[in-house]
Amino acid sequence: MKQIKQLFREIIPVIIGILIALFINNWNDERKEKKYLDQMFSSIEKELEESILDIKTVIPKQLASVDTLDVYINNEEVSLYSIMMRGNGIHFPTIKTNSWNAIANSRIELIEYEQLSALADIEERKENLSIRIERQMEFIFQNFEKTDRAKKIILRMMTLDIVNAEKELQSQIEEFIKE
């Protein structure tokens, strides 16, 4: 019986020491995870703010291209290429999601569902916008020398569709930043 009591006297301090060490280790891990998340969300926010500025800069240029299209829409002597050059070229925003992609590929389990869902929606809208832009570029290159009204109307609609997609993306980014 004395041996059992002696064994408990020796084991209990060891168990308590192990539990304290585990508690300290867990606390330290949580502190590191919080610091990592704070840094990542700060970086994500900066990238998204830069993306908003880029969208705000590009939309007026795209609308100017639409205005130029409107001026020459019935002129069958002016090609799509000429219209694009007179409208100062083709402009698209850069949507930055590098920090989001970094955390999504490494420590996604640390992010709360609402934030995860909002960032995934932003990424999806970015991809959707990229597809629209790619389609517009293909259309322009396939119809570079075309002068007919129908092609100009299609290009006008494509550009306005891209502008609307950019505005929706901008709104979603602003909502994420606000929260």
Nearest-angstrom CA–CA distance, 161 and 154:
10
Enumerate the domain spans of the chain. Answer: 2-178
pLDDT tens-digit readout, 32-85: 888 888 888 899 999 999 999 999 999 999 999 999 999 999 999 999 999 988
Nearest-angstrom CA–CA distance, 137 and 131:
10
pLDDT at 30: 85
pLDDT top residue among 11 and 48:
48
> pLDDT band at residue 15, thresholds of 50, 70 and 90?
confident
pLDDT at 179: 81
pLDDT at 20: 86
Residues constituting the chain: 179
Give the pLDDT mean for 12-17. Answer: 84
pLDDT at 26: 85
89: phi > 0 → left, psi -120 to 50 → alpha, else beta; which? left
Nearest-angstrom CA–CA distance, 168 and 53:
14
Lowest mean pLDDT among 78-87, 122-131, 145-154: 78-87
pLDDT top residue among 116 and 108:
116
pLDDT at 126: 95
φ, ψ dihedrals at 153, nearest 5° = -65, -45
> What would the CATH number be for the domain defined by 2-178?
1.20.120
What are the percentages of helix, strand and coil residues in the chain, rounded to 5?
Answer: 85, 0, 15
For residue 111, give the amino acid letter.
I
Lowest mean pLDDT among 10-19, 135-144, 150-159: 10-19
